[in-house]
Amino acid sequence: MIFIAMFSLTLNLLLLFLPPILCQPIEETVLLKSVVISNHSGPLNEHSLGTYFDRVGDLKIKNSNISDLSKGTLKLLSQLQNLTISDSSIQKTEDDVFSSCCPTLRVLRVTNWKDMEEEDLRGIGTLPLETLSIDHQNLTQLGEDIFRNTNLKCLSLDHNNIKYLSNAVFDDLYQLEELSISWNDLDELPRDVLAPLKRLKTLKLETDRFSKFSWVNLTYLPELTEIYLTKKQMVEVNLWGIQEKAPKLKDVYLVGNDGIVTDENEGPTIHF
């Protein structure tokens, strides 16, 4: 079932109330802004999308079983800026369905795409993405080239069962300002994995697996202003010397654990 959540439609005015000089046909235009496809079963193609979907700016697919998704279909969405896929099963007709598909796409959010695998993200480097969120997927590790040629500013990889991060996985993310890799299966954060992120401002590492955290876990991050390390298993946070690694760091969030031992220092504010 396809719901149009928001649209603007220019209607013909009643000619009865128009002066004679203005009694001309008014061209009908439809500018769809937001469309939600919910509980839909079957293909997602030109026929099912309808006439005006080339004007959609925001598309949400949720609770659906899409039997056919192709690059051709995505190319019809020539004005698409935001795409969200959640709680759905989607069968692609080609491996690189995202490659050069959407010239205006800025935000891609994927949550619980039931059939998604890492190779389904091939081609995202050909998109002008600024925000990418891949949450609640079973991506135990990420290939080194998955984010190649991207210009992301915001990346979320929460709840993905990630066990391992290659030191090169974030190498192309020179523009990244916010990174969230919370609630994964990482026992530690490889220090060098963050080395390319010289513009990073926000780092979210909420987890139940870290028991200690210190500046040794960080590489030099000149723009970092806040870190989220919240959760109950954290028993010690040592920020001695942190200003050498993160001179602009102002806030460390440890909300939810009053039993953490912290060293006294003149560094960032610690929020419990």
The CATH number for 157's domain is 3.80.10.10
Residue at 27 is within a domain = yes
230 domain residue, yes or no: no
Q: Specify if 7 maps to a domain.
A: yes
Classify residue 134 as exposed, middle or buried by CB count within 10 Å of its CB (0-12, 13-18, 19+). Answer: buried
pLDDT along the chain (272 residues), means of 10: 42 34 40 82 79 83 91 88 94 84 94 86 90 93 86 96 90 96 88 92 90 80 92 75 90 73 69 78
Is residue 250 in some structural domain?
Answer: no
Compute the distance between CA of residue 87 and CA of residue 102 in angstroms, rounded to an integer.
Answer: 22
User: What is the pLDDT, as a whole number, of residue 262?
Assistant: 63
According to the model, what pLDDT value does residue 259 have? 61
Number of domains comprising the chain: 1
Rounded Cα distance, 240 and 49, in Å: 57
Q: What is the pLDDT of residue 271?
A: 80
Q: What range does the domain containing 31 cover? A: 2-213
234 Cβ contact partners less than 8 Å away, ≥ 6 residues apart: 210, 211, 212, 213, 254, 257, 260
**Beta 2-9 vs 30-38: how paired, if at all?**
antiparallel
Domain-located, residue 82? yes
- What pLDDT shows up at residue 261? 62
| Residue 134 domain flag | yes
The per-residue pLDDT for 34 is 84
* Tokens, residue 232: 């109950």
Write out the chain in H/E/C secondary structure. CEEEEEEEECCCCCHHHCCHHHCCCCCCCEEEEEEEEECCEEEECHHHHCCCHHHCCEEEEECCEEEEECHHHHHHCCCCCEEEEEEEEEEECCCCCCCCCCCCCCEEEEEEECCCCHHHHCCHHHCCCCEEEEECCCCCECCCCCCCCCCCCEEECCCCCCCECCCCCCCCCCCCCEEECCCCCCCCCCHHHHCCCCCCCEEECCCCCCCEEEHHHCCCCCCCCEEECCCCCCCEEECCCHHHHCCCCCEEECCCCCCCEECCCCCCEEEC
Helix (H) or strand (E) holding 35: strand 30-38
Q: What CA–CA distance (Å, rounded) separates 26 from 137?
A: 49
Q: Residue 95 and residue 93: Cα distance in Å, rounded?
A: 7
Let me know if residue 233 belongs to a domain: no
Residue 115 covered by a domain: yes
- The pLDDT of residue 189: 82
pLDDT number for residue 17: 38
